Amino acid sequence: MTRFRVLSLIALIAGLLLAYFVWSTQAAHSSRYSFKLGLDLAGGTELVYKADMSQTAEGDRADALSALHGVIERRVNLFGVAEPLVQTEQASALSGATEDRLIVDLPGVTDVKAAVAALGKTPILEFKLATTTFAGNVGKVTYIPTGLTGRYVQSASLQFGSGATAGLSAPQVLLNFNSEGADRFAKLTTENVGQTLAIFLDGQPISEPVIQEPITGGQASINGRFTAAQARDLVNDLNFGALPVPISLESSSSIGPTLGVMAINADVVAGLLAFVIIALFMLVWYRLPGVIAVVALAEYLAFMLAIIKIIPITLTASGIAGLIITLGMAVDANVLIFERTKEELRDGKSPREAVHIGFARAWTAIRDGHLTMLISGIILFWLGSSIVKGFALVFVLGTLASFISAVSVSRVYLLAIVPVEGKGKWKFLLGSGIRNV
């Protein structure tokens, strides 16, 4: 019994420390461990873009989507928005086909038009080979995509003619490719010497140089039909990140800070009410084991809130709903254990022996129940949308935490209190409902 009392003291101190951590980090609003709130709670704008993969090979689509994510994330970060969130997902369209989407969350930005303007128009840079075909006396120019796009551009810079001043020479945009882009460009220029390599920006040709010789240095210059100011803007846009594939705005939504505060208040009230009702039921129905279950439940809640702060997990309304649901799950295992213990007491076992056997008999049901919940939560997180994923992540973490709370914390507390032999009051304290056992 001494071992369990020491363990229970350690568990109690750990729970108090977790509760203090949650309270103190939230009281200090500038703390880096403050709760990260989603748009539906903090207010802000969500933009959903559709990525056009029609000109991208099937095998390159995953890489293109990853590159698109990185480009947009860099651009959004440059705008100075506090803690933006950029996500990619695949969704089913009405036609049954799969669409690649980009979701941009901008906390604190509630003006949709301003958000779209802030994200701006990122240039689509493409290199295409020009071929001419004749039909009679009419020549038709066809541009063939080469697969070399702005996604391979590492940086861009503005320069003018060698030895010339800015006012006397046409501007040039110098492109520096990354390692993969340099290899692609070298291969392209080596295999197509004498061909015209057209450079397209947003679907329009801006330069059509002829490949004079293989270019292996990983650099290319654009001598476009633009002014110095236009060239400077192009350099800035390319350095922000050229989109590897075109995107189009599919939907947008905004939530004001007032609605966010109302949602937070409603979720907090719902959570407290759920905790109080569960605690009252456990105290009234299960007596001493109910007290232990409530203490374990409080520690479980402190542990979950601390985990959410430390990871951190962006809290949304659906995530808080998942947390509230797991409150009931956290005591579900305790109910199984207490009912099994009550059966053993009814069969004449001593209190301590009944607790040991009760835990052993409830183990398989607790294990299987939590396993099925974990499977369902993982599937929701794997296949669900961004909103569902917020719920699923908290649900999975809550399931794991409730499992630990039930099989470890509650057991340690109960075995630290229950005597080896006990009658009278112990029979009443370990009973439930309107009967002693």
Instruction: Flag whether the pTM goes above 0.75.
Output: no
For 182-221, letters b (16+ CB in 10 Å) and e give bebbbebbeeeeeebbbbbbeeebbbbeebeeebeebebe
**Sheet strands (E) in 304-426:** 314-315
SS3 48: strand
pLDDT 10s digit of each residue in the chain, 437 long? 688 889 889 999 999 999 999 988 887 766 678 888 777 777 788 888 888 888 777 887 888 888 788 777 776 766 666 667 788 887 666 666 678 888 888 877 777 777 777 665 656 788 899 988 777 777 788 899 898 888 788 888 888 765 444 445 678 888 899 898 999 999 999 999 989 988 887 777 877 888 888 888 888 887 766 678 878 777 776 666 567 778 888 888 877 767 777 878 888 888 889 889 988 988 888 888 889 889 988 998 899 999 988 888 888 888 888 888 888 777 888 888 888 888 888 888 888 888 888 888 888 888 888 899 899 989 988 887 767 888 888 899 988 888 888 778 888 888 888 877 766 677 777 767 665 54
Sequence-ordered strand ranges (E) for 278-344: 314-315
* Domains of the chain: residue spans and CATH: 2-38+256-429 (1.20.1640.10), 44-254 (3.30.1360.200)
